[in-house]
């Protein structure tokens, strides 16, 4: 922490110092204490909850930034290695979704984000599930890695 004492200076709207013997104040200085916090970079992890609509699947979950700078007391900073955002809801989703997540909501007490790192932009890409039926004859299937002493049978339609 830094302690400082500053002399009071009066300024007008243009920022010029006002020198006027008609201004009186009971104090001619102000004492301030500035708390200095340590910082560190931590990883960001994003996971989804819920299930997309029937017939769809999650193709990709992308988010930025992947790392953020946080600040706090050294004792608290040593406890945190990453922030996990585990509740991006994809319930019944049928198209790509973008959302912004406030990262401070997921940080422990005493830890805060630094600079403009307070939001994680998340994009969940959803695609229709594609199915394709293929037919193979048993003669077309080759089993590799067979172990001696075992019997292997291919089940299914012939």
Taking a C-beta distance cutoff of 8 angstroms, is the pair 71, 38 a contact? yes
In this model, does residue 158 exceed pLDDT 60?
no
In this model, does residue 49 exceed pLDDT 90?
yes
* Range 18-41 burial, b when 16+ CB lie within 10 A, else e: eeeeeeeeeeeeeeeeeeebeebe
pTM: 0.63
Q: In the chain, what percentage of residues exceed pLDDT 90?
A: 56
For residues 120 and 63, what is the distance between their CA atoms, to the nearest angstrom?
Answer: 7
In this model, does residue 16 exceed pLDDT 80?
yes
In this model, does residue 24 exceed pLDDT 80?
no
pLDDT of 122 reads: 95
Mean pLDDT of the chain: 89
In this model, does residue 65 exceed pLDDT 80?
yes
DSSP-derived 3-state class of residue 103: helix
- Characterise 51 by phi-psi region: left (phi > 0), alpha (psi -120 to 50), beta (else): beta
* DSSP string covering 45-101: EEEEES-PPTTEEEEEEEEE-SEEEEEE-HHHHTT-SEEEEEEEE-TT--S-EEEEE
Start-to-end CA distance of the chain, whole Å, equals 79
Fill in the DSSP letter of residue 27: -
Burial of 68 (0-12, 13-18, 19+ CB in 10 A): buried
Tens of pLDDT, residues 86-129: 999 999 999 999 999 999 999 999 999 987 778 999 999 999 99
pLDDT of 7 reads: 86
pLDDT of 136 reads: 83
């Amino acid at each position: 922490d830094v302690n400082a004492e500053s002399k009071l200076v009066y300024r007008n709207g243009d920022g010029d110092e006002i020198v006027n013997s008609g201004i009186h104040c009971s104090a001619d200085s102000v004492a301030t204490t500035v708390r200095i916090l340590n910082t560190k970079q931590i990883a960001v992890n994003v996971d989804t909850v819920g299930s997309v609509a029937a017939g769809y699947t999650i193709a990709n979950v992308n988010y930025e930034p992947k790392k953020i700078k946080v600040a706090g007391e050294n004792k608290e900073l040593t406890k945190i290695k990453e922030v996990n955002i585990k509740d991006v809801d994809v319930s019944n989703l049928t198209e790509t979704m973008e959302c912004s997540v406030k990262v401070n909501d997921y940080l422990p007490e005493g830890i805060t984000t630094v600079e403009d790192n307070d939001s994680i932009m998340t994009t969940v890409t959803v695609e229709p599930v594609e199915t394709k039926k293929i037919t193979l004859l048993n003669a077309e299937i080759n089993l590799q890695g067979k172990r001696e002493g075992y019997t292997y049978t291919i089940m299914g339609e012939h």
